[in-house]
Chain A
Amino acid sequence: MIIPLGASDELTYRRPTSLLLFYVAAILSAVALALVGKASSLRTVLLSFAFVGAATAVWSLLRFLRSNDERERQINDQALTFAFTGTLAFVLAIGFLQSFGFHSVSWWGIPGLMVILWSVGLILYSWRYQ
């Protein structure tokens, strides 16, 4: 039996292209940032490229998240809550330890930790439904 295709064509075709665009843009942006220190003459061009790449990555990620269905949105909400509370606990713990002489942590670690915890949360909460 042939089932008429509807809005869910989006799920099949839009999602993979959005994810692919996200990965490509994020990698290009990271490479451009890494090259800024090595090619100082191209600093402005590389920074502009990195900014455009990061903006494209964020846009394609949001596009992907918009195409999620209700269960996937629920998993994503739970994963974001996990990442937020985990990062908050980490920051508070580091702040507490620093009062006893613990060395400072780069602020770049915070968004990195959030992304890592978000990914871990996505995996953990996806298991619930399998």
Chain B
Amino acid sequence: MKTRLRMLRAEKEWSQAELATHVGVARGTINAIETGKYDPSLPLAFKIVRAFGKTVEEVFLYQENEHPATTHPDV
């Protein structure tokens, strides 16, 4: 799944580690989401978008025909 995380982080001048601390995950998880290697669970997706004051659709860009990245089993 494509995301606008990197751009939004740059706007706020947050590092991956700072965002990770804010939403309560490891820095590697933020990196995996940004690079499209990992699709977050819904609770984590909401935590991330709320950190930026955005909606899910504004941050995560889902395309119908895309190959799903490795996804959390609860989703």
Across the interface, do B38 and A1 meet the contact criterion of CB distance under 8 Å? no
Inter-chain contacts of B29 with A (CB < 8 A): 69-72
Interface size range on A against B: 20 to 34
User: For window 58-84 of chain A, which residues contact chain B by CB distance below 8 Å?
Assistant: 68-72, 74, 77
Inter-chain contacts of B22 with A (CB < 8 A): 3-4, 6, 8
- A-B contact list, 26 entries, CB within 8 Å: A1-B13, A3-B14, A4-B22, A5-B21, A6-B21, A6-B22, A7-B24, A8-B20, A8-B21, A8-B24, A8-B25, A9-B21, A11-B24, A68-B26, A69-B29, A70-B25, A70-B41, A70-B74, A71-B25, A71-B26, A71-B28, A71-B29, A72-B28, A74-B70, A77-B73, A129-B31
- Interface membership of A99, Cβ < 8 A: no
Inter-chain contacts of B41 with A (CB < 8 A): 70
Chain B positions within 8 Å of A, measured between CB atoms, are: 12-14, 18-26, 28-29, 31-32, 37-38, 40-41, 44, 70, 72-74
User: For window 39-68 of chain A, which residues contact chain B by CB distance below 8 Å?
Assistant: 68
Q: Main SS of chain A's interface residues? A: loop
Cα separation A39 to B71 with both chains bound (whole Å): 53
